[in-house]
Structure 1
Amino acid sequence: MSKRVSFHSRRPSLSRVRGAVVAAGLGTSMVLGVGAAFAAGTAGAPDAANLINISAAESVAKQAAAQGKAAKAAKAERAAVKKAAVKNAAAWETPVRHYALSASFGNDGARWAHKHSGQDFAVPIGTKVKAAHGGTVVKAGPNGGGDGPAYGNAVVISHGNGVYSQYAHLSRIDVHIGQTVKTGEKIALSGNTGNSSGPHVHFEIRTTPNYGSAINPVSFLHKHGVMV
Structure 2
Amino acid sequence: MSKRVSFQHSRRPSLSRVRGAVVAAGLGTSMVLGAGAAFAAATAGSPGVASLINNSAAASVAQQAAVQGKAAKAAKVAEVAKEKAAKKAAVKKAAGWETPVSRYQLSASFGNDGSRWAHKHSGQDFAVPIGTEVKAAHRGTVVKAGPNGGGDGPAYGNAVVIKHANGTYSQYAHLAQIDVRIGETVKTGQKIALSGNTGNSSGPHLHFEIRHTADYGSAVNPVSFLHKEGVSV
Pair 212,169 (structure 1): closer, same or farther in 2 beyond 3 Å: same
| Correspondences of 1:181-192 after superposition (within 5 Å) | 181-192=186-197
* Equivalent residue, structure 1, for 2:162: 157
* Equivalent residue, structure 2, for 1:119: 124
> Of the candidates 181, 185, 206, which is equivalent to residue 180 of structure 1?
185
**1:142 and 2:147 aligned:** yes
* 2: CA distance, partners of 1:90 / 1:118: 23
**1:131 and 2:136 aligned:** yes
Deviation string 1:126-168 (CA, Å, 9 cap, x unpaired) is: 0000000000000000000000000000000000232000000
Deviation at 1:109? 5.8
- RMSD (CA atoms): 2.4
* 2: CA distance, partners of 1:111 / 1:184: 30
* Equivalent residue, structure 1, for 2:107: 102
Deviation string 1:178-216 (CA, Å, 9 cap, x unpaired) is: 000000000000000000000000000000000000001
Deviation at 1:113? 6.8
* Equivalent residue, structure 1, for 2:25: none
> Of the candidates 203, 219, 225, which is equivalent to residue 224 of structure 2?
219
Tell me which protein shows more helix as a share of its residues. Answer: 2
Q: Which SS does the other structure have where 2:121 is aligned?
A: coil
Question: Contact 2:177–2:196 at 8 Å: present in 1 too?
Answer: yes
Gaps of 5+ in 2: 1-87
Higher Cα radius of gyration: 1
Q: Which SS does the other structure have where 1:144 is aligned?
A: helix
> Of the candidates 193, 200, 204, which is equivalent to residue 199 of structure 1?
204
Matched AA of 1:107 = N
Gaps of 5+ in 1: 1-82
Q: Percent identity?
A: 84
Paired residue total:
148
Pair 172,114 (structure 1): closer, same or farther in 2 beyond 3 Å: same
Deviation at 1:108? 3.1
Pair 211,200 (structure 1): closer, same or farther in 2 beyond 3 Å: same
* 1: CA distance, partners of 2:117 / 2:206: 11
